[in-house]
Amino acid sequence: MIGDVNSTDQKGPSRMTNEAGDLTPVANYLYEMGYLKRVPRTGWLIAGVQNPESIAEHSFRAAIIGMVLAHLEGADPAKTAMLCLLHDTQETRIGDVPSVGKAYVTTVDNPSVTADQVAGFPAALASALVSLVTEYEGRESPESILARDADKLECLLQAREYLATGHEDVPPWIETSAAAVRSVSGKRLAELCQQVAPKDWWAAAAAAYPRPQRPSRDS
């Protein structure tokens, strides 16, 4: 049985559970990650958005974008998505410092924060998470470059959505995000996403949706 630590079968998932040891720190980490659903992206507050997206919401779409970019660029989609999901997880401890504050606020580097977050984890799991965060921060591997592009593209998309709902102070977020994208596919998408309206996807779907056939008066 999966997860049965008393199982004598040492060939399947039970063996991995046995070798993992105490998973209490992992359970605590999973609760900590849930906090990201309640932490707002503070830069949008500066732009006048009263109820901005959460860090978790940003990271979700960034992971989707990263997966798409990796497919387009011939990189590893799964790894790119993982880097996107982990890139802001440190903000449970250090908060989301907006750009206007980064000149004044100094924090511990993200790999060190992650190392503290995963202290007490099974060694292999802790090493894997710290390595992924370190890779993202290094901006050297194709996947880390694409994950960074995905982060910027997600910010661009969100700014376009806020602009469409009347928040007029967000164009600088659009401009700086587009300028920061490095990959060929990312640049193409950054340009295209500034031409396509946020509502186009559902407007086209609504127009194509089959209308119910009403019975004629003669029937």
- Give 177-187 pLDDT, tens digit per residue: 999 999 999 99
- Give 127-178 pLDDT, tens digit per residue: 999 999 999 999 999 999 999 999 999 999 999 999 999 999 999 999 999 9
- Give 52-66 pLDDT, tens digit per residue: 999 999 999 999 999
- DSSP structure class, residue 210: P
Handedness of CA 110, 113, 118, 123 (dihedral sign): positive
Distance between CA atoms of residues 193 and 99, nearest Å:
23
**H helices of 3-141, where?**
13-20, 24-34, 43-46, 55-73, 77-86, 91-94, 110-117, 123-138
Distance between CA atoms of residues 159 and 70, nearest Å:
23
**Identity (one letter) of the amino acid at 126?**
A
